[in-house]
Amino acid sequence: MENIIKECKTKSEAIKKLYGYYNGKTQKKFYDMVSEKNISIDHLKVRLPKYEAIKKNCPVCGNEFETQIGNKREKTTCSYKCSNTFFRSGKLNPNWKGDSYRSMCFEHHKKECVICGESKIVAVHHYDENHYNNDPKNLIPLCPTHHQYVHSKYKDEVIGKIDEYRNKFIEITRGLVETQ
């Protein structure tokens, strides 16, 4: 046994040669046997960690946490909660549509139809019908029904309220710009 241990370079190699496999029980048996028979294992190398451990600050909450640099599982955040916040919201989310006309509209207008007040399903109408013009003055929140009215022969039934809403919105935004 002593000769087998002297031939090996690492503790795990010695344990595998003595017991056939390496696990917690064989490791305990090995250490018990070495201390019982007073065998020196100083020449056996301890396997160094493959990746260097570093400390990082979480970009969401600011807490300090430890991760392994270069590891395929290197952490970016400190927890699952922070990870969900970091990767599933904002620009890092692959489904993020922050520059879309809908998000632009609902930043400046209440999410409800300007005709009937419907707030569950709200579409966005481009007032000048130019879908590249995403100026908040050109975006009007409408329910799907009233949006269809605007694009049909019943346009006259809703266009008056839409014009009134748009003019009021323009006056309010001018007032805000002038006071600043």
Neighbours of 128 (CB within 10 A): 9
Averaged pLDDT for residues 63-90? 87
The pLDDT, as a whole number, for residue 103 is 85
The pLDDT, as a whole number, for residue 3 is 84
Cα-only R_g, the chain: 34
The alpha carbon dihedral of 164, 166, 170, 173 has a sign of positive
Q: What is the overall mean pLDDT for the chain? A: 87
- The tokens for 113 are 């139809």
Share of the chain above pLDDT 70, in %: 90
For 79-105, the pLDDT digits (tens) are: 999 988 888 777 667 666 667 888 889
pLDDT confidence bin for 149, thresholds 50/70/90: very high
For 12-31, the pLDDT digits (tens) are: 888 899 999 889 899 899 98
**Range name among 3-7, 57-61, 154-158 with the lowest pLDDT average:** 3-7
In the chain, how long is the greatest CA-to-CA distance?
Answer: 100
Averaged pLDDT for residues 102-117? 92
**Range name among 54-58, 63-67, 172-176 with the lowest pLDDT average:** 172-176
The pLDDT, as a whole number, for residue 174 is 83
**Phi, psi for residue 57 in degrees, rounded to 5:** -105, 135
| CB neighbour class for 164 (10 Å; exposed up to 12, middle 13-18, buried from 19) | exposed
Phi/psi region, residue 20 (left: phi>0; alpha: psi -120 to 50; beta: rest), is left
